[in-house]
Every structure is written in C-alpha cells, then in structure tokens.
Amino acid sequence: MELVGIARLAFRSELLEAKREVEYFELPSRSILNRTRPNMPFQWTINPYRGCEYGCKYCYARYTHEFMEMAPEEFEDKIYAKSAAAHLLRQELGRIDRKEYIAIGTATDPYQPAERRFGRMRGILEVFARERGRHLTITTKSDLVTRDIELLREIARRNVVGVNMTITTLDEKLARALEPRAPRPELRLQAVKRLSAAGVCVAVFPNPIMPGLTDSEQALDRLARAAREAGAMSLGGGPLFLKPSSQAVMLPFLEREIPELAARYRELYATSAHLSKAYKDALALRVQRVRERYGLASGMIEYRPEFWEGEEQGELFPLQ
C-alpha cells in the first residue's frame, strides 16, 4: 500500500529521540540491612532499589550496576526492587542495637518513580512505625516522601527520624541538566515545608557540592536561606567524588554541555576520585559560615517533636 499525506511524512521523518524505556526487575534478596565501615556516621544502610531512574550525571552509585556486569548508563534503565524488603527488615531488626543509626537511601533514591508501583519504601516505614527507640534517616530528592507524612509522624512518636532532602542547586536549568529526571528543586523545597510543618525533622543536603557549578558561597547561601525559610533544621555539605564509573557519564556530559569546565574536571579527578584536602578544607569552612548565618546545624539531630512519646517512658515503665 502506498502511503499518502501525513502517513508518508511520518514514515519519512527522522528519529529525533527514542522514548526511554525503563525495565523493572525483582531482585531476590537474602538481607536488607547492610553494615557500614567503622568510620561512617551511621552503622546500617537500607536501599530498597538497585539502580535509579533520576539519572543524575554525577551519581556515585553507578558502580553498583558494574557488579552485575552492566554499563554505567544501564543504572538508569534497569531498576531492581528488592524482594520481601519489609519481611526481611522485621526479621533483621531484632539483631541490631536500637541506638545504632540506620540510613535509608544512601546508594539509590528510595522514592524514585519505581516506589509508586512497588511500594518497598512504604513497607519498610510500616515496619519502623511499630518500633521504638530506633534512629533512622531517609535521603531523597523526591517530593513523593510527603505521601508518607502520616507514617513518618507515627515513627517520630517513639523513634528518632530525619529526612534529608537533597537539593544541589536552586537553578532550575542547571538542575534539569544535572539531574534530568529528578523532581524540580522547587518541588523538593515544598516537600521540606510540608514535612517540617508536620513536625518531621528535615535537613537540606546540597551534596554533592560540585566545583565550579554549585560550590560558590553565593549559591550555598541562597540554598541555605531557602532551606531555613522552608523549615529545615540542618544543612549537609559534602564535595563531589567521582569514581571511574561516574566519570564515564559526568565527563562526556560536561564536554557536551559545559565544555569550559570539562578540562578542569579531567585535571581535578585525574589521579583520584576525591578532591584535594585543600579544596575540601576550604569548602568545609564556606559551608560552616553559611550554616552559622542561618542558624542551621550540621549532621544528624536527635530531634524530639511535640508529639514525642519516646523510649524514656518505656524504660521508666518497662512492659512486663
């Protein structure tokens, strides 16, 4: 059959971009809590998903797909949901000290789009809602965390819980380029506002702070002010490190989009994934100045909301 009119035009059209396809897999898991190295500020981590659709150019966790013999880019397209996450957590929690910190979302975002379908994070929070005296933090770039506000309040009655909202920049254009499929910074700030209004402890994390992109005092100041106004209590602040699997995505991105920075990055990360001590020290002082300007703490806070029912009560009147 001969194509005519719009059908013929469509047939001859040049492909501009193929629609991204994301594949989801169930990852059989034997455990959900992972022990960290001794010098970390938290002792356990939980990552309900492997791979992350947000596709941040600098993402350090791409190496986790290398273990599965996949290319760094596949980290964004092949997402693995850990099986029986809540069930495993219920079994494993009994074996760990209540005072030890558990950090959720250290490698991949627990509220990435897959969470809407598979609800692994929600299942995990439902387990914590029945606990008391636990210490946990949740790190995300997604306003989907507000879906779980009531659960977070329930957890916060008897446990110490904090949400770390990652916002690397308030510049919408830069955020779109660096974090192409993550929620806009404005949506993340609105989530901070809603969480803090509900009495949930929130920190804003500018991590990773990127040389020449987000590390100026002006940019950090703007972010800290917005964080404070939204009700955040603390401000994180760690510099970018780039493992080879992350360099494989970040460096070509810079060459394409911000060529004037590409050579500098090649030089900065030529021999190590980490920046120099001198840079890190100067950055730490800059972040500290900004924190002090807005009365923001650093690190984790043992925050007790008004509705705290706490473990002290349980210790004073132990259940028989």
Cβ proximity to ligand SF4: between 105 and 162 the closer is: 105
Query: Residue 30: in which H helix or E strand, if any?
Result: none
Q: Which of 90, 69, 83, 102 is nearest to 29 (CA)?
A: 83
Q: How far is the CB of 9 from ligand SF4 (least distance, A)?
A: 38
HSE-up of 140 (CA within 13 Å, CB side)? 29
Is residue 54 close enough to count as binding ligand SF4 by CB under 6 A?
yes
Is residue 61 close enough to count as binding ligand SF4 by CB under 6 A?
yes
Is residue 162 close enough to count as binding ligand SF4 by CB under 6 A?
no
Member of 82, 135, 141, 158 binding ligand SF4 (CB under 6 A): 141
> What residues from 83 to 112 belong to the interface with ligand SF4 (CB under 6 A)?
108-109
The single-letter code of the amino acid at 49 is: Y
Cβ proximity to ligand SF4: between 141 and 291 the closer is: 141
Q: How far is the CB of 295 from ligand SF4 (least distance, A)?
A: 28
Is residue 48 close enough to count as binding ligand SF4 by CB under 6 A?
no
Burial label for 238, CB within 10 Å (0-12, 13-18, 19+), is: middle
Q: Where are the beta strands (DSSP E) in the chain?
A: 23-27, 34-35, 44-46, 49-50, 78-82, 101-104, 135-140, 160-166, 201-205, 234-235
Per-residue binder mask for ligand SF4 (CB under 6 A), 170-199, x = binder: ---------x--x-----------------
Please list the residues that pair with 161 across neighbouring strands: 136
> How many other CB atoms sit within 10 Å of the CB of residue 311?
17
Is residue 122 close enough to count as binding ligand SF4 by CB under 6 A?
no
> How many other CB atoms sit within 10 Å of the CB of residue 74?
16
Is residue 55 close enough to count as binding ligand SF4 by CB under 6 A?
yes
Q: How far is the CB of 139 from ligand SF4 (least distance, A)?
A: 8
Site size for ligand SF4 (CB under 6 A): 11
**Residues at the contact surface with ligand SF4, assessed by CB under 6 A:** 52, 54-56, 59, 61, 108-109, 141, 179, 182
